Amino acid sequence: MRVAVAMSGGVDSSVVALLLRDAGHEVVGLSMKLYDAGVARSASEIADEACDATKAKGCCTPEDMNDARRVAAEIGIPHYVLDYSDAFEAAVIRPFVAEYARGRTPSPCVLCNDRLKFRALLMRARALGCAAIATGHYARVDAAGGRFRLLRARDRAKDQAYYLFGLGQNELRETLFPLGEMEKGEVRERARAAGLPVSDKPDSQEACFLEGQSIAAFLSRHGVSSVRGEIVDERGETRGRHEGAARFTVGQRHGLAVADRHPLYVLSVDVGSNRVVVGPRESLAARGLVADGARWVSGVAPAVNAEVLAQVRSRHTPVAARVESTGESMTVRFESPVIAVAPGQAVVVSRGDEILGGGWIRDGFADSSGDVAGPLERRRGANP
């Protein structure tokens, strides 16, 4: 059958194309151009970043497009670069900036999957007569009994199912994740054995469009003002100064110019009063959270108070919880407290290996009542 492969120029999607070709499919390589690399930055800024040894590796730069093209030519499949930079700007970058401006912590990769890869690109693949679209995500689709279930990858260290919670039956029906059963080492080995020019390329990092810039630099370039303000503790006492509240993330520990006997963490970010509230790790503990935009892979929410696992960010080990969902909102109550629940991040609900769905965190709550307002007021440093 004709299958589209979303090729980022990295080793994972390159091996996907290789595996599907070897399986006898008619493979069509599609690369998405998502932004104009380097356009917004001066030459000196780029030069500065080039000297930065920790420079993150993007996935959609012109060099990555070249890599994808070379791989496609190497394995003998057609390859096309599609320009989605306008859609990416509207669906991913602008919400990313707006969320930070509101003091929240966005998840751009989830949005990109939802709106670009498994919507625009999937539609394009259908238009090209492709029966399915394949990506290099580490996740699995199980199709037993006419229902499509989204499962975590066999290689738990590389599992990316968190980013895919927004996929429903219509998307999963036409989606292949050929790496879901493989270990990352095996994938690189396949690439090396086939002589692919990207076999030793480093893994891409989150938020490709940052291109190695700091989030602060990216935000100020996109017009998020950085007004100096106060860092306060839970009692409202000033503990230091910051260079713009929007740049902080709940749970953040680094970058706080505040001295204390114990490590201090960002508890909340209040853009309105331009204040960042800090406190000890214990104060970060949430008993639950409320989320919006709930989506369920099966199309149906779990039973009320169903026992599930909840994951509140990509690098978070899922914890036991109970979930209750009405319409697009959901409440998740953790069995034991969870540290650093950041508004704006995705919460993903799973059972065993199966991703049930997820939503966007509105806020965490610290007591078991589920009353959001009380504990938050306290955390925002209001006088008791």
Partner 1 sequence: MRRIYLDANATTPMAAEVVEAMWEWLGGDAFGNPSSLHRAGREARKAIDDAREQVAALVGAEPSEIVFTSGGTEANNLAVMGAVRAAGLRRIVTSAVEHPSLLEAARGMERESVSATLVGVDRDGVVDREAFRAAIPDGAAFVSLMRVNNETGNLMPVRDCVWELRGRGVVTHTDATQAVGRIGVDVKDLGVDFMSMSAHKLHGPKGVGALYVRRGARLSPILVGGAQERERRAGTENVAGIVGFGKAAALAHKGLKPRAMKIAALRDRFERELFQRVEGVRLNGHRLARAPGTLNVSFDKADGEAILIGLDLERVAASSGAACASGVAKPSHVLLAMGRTAAEARSSVRFSFHDGNTDEEVDRLIEIVPAIVARVRCEEGPGT
Catalytic residues: 112, 208
- Is residue 159 within 8 A of residue 139, CB to CB? The reply is yes
Q: What residues are paired with 289 via a beta bridge? A: 332, 364
The smaller minimum CB distance to partner 1, of residues 119 and 281, is found at 119
As measured in angstroms, the least distance from the Cβ of 110 to partner 1 is 20
Read out DSSP for 50-112?
HT-TTPPP-SSSHHHHHHHHHHHHHHT--EEEEE-HHHHIIIIIHHHHHHHHTT----HHHHI
The smaller minimum CB distance to partner 1, of residues 63 and 206, is found at 63
The smaller minimum CB distance to partner 1, of residues 123 and 193, is found at 123
As measured in angstroms, the least distance from the Cβ of 342 to partner 1 is 32
Q: Report the C-alpha gap between 258 and 61 in whole angstroms.
A: 37
The smaller minimum CB distance to partner 1, of residues 61 and 345, is found at 61
- Using DSSP's 3-state secondary structure scheme, residue 371 falls into coil
User: Which residues would be at the binding site for partner 1 (CB under 8 A)?
Assistant: 2, 26, 28, 31, 33, 62, 65, 78, 80-83, 87, 120, 123-124, 126-129
As measured in angstroms, the least distance from the Cβ of 7 to partner 1 is 12
As measured in angstroms, the least distance from the Cβ of 207 to partner 1 is 22
As measured in angstroms, the least distance from the Cβ of 108 to partner 1 is 20
Token duo for residue 299 = 């199309």
Burial string for 167-183 (b: 16+ CB within 10 Å, else e) reads bbeebbebbbbbbbebe
As measured in angstroms, the least distance from the Cβ of 128 to partner 1 is 5
Q: Quick one: which of 287, 310, 312, 304 has its CA closest to 374?
A: 287
Parallel, antiparallel, or unpaired: how do β-strands 26-33 and 79-83 relate? parallel
Token duo for residue 336 = 């034991």
The smaller minimum CB distance to partner 1, of residues 84 and 334, is found at 84
Q: Report the C-alpha gap between 234 and 214 in whole angstroms.
A: 28
The smaller minimum CB distance to partner 1, of residues 124 and 184, is found at 124
The amino acid occupying position 37 is A
Cβ neighbours for 260, distance < 8 A, ≥ 6 positions apart: 239
Q: Report the C-alpha gap between 348 and 365 in whole angstroms.
A: 17
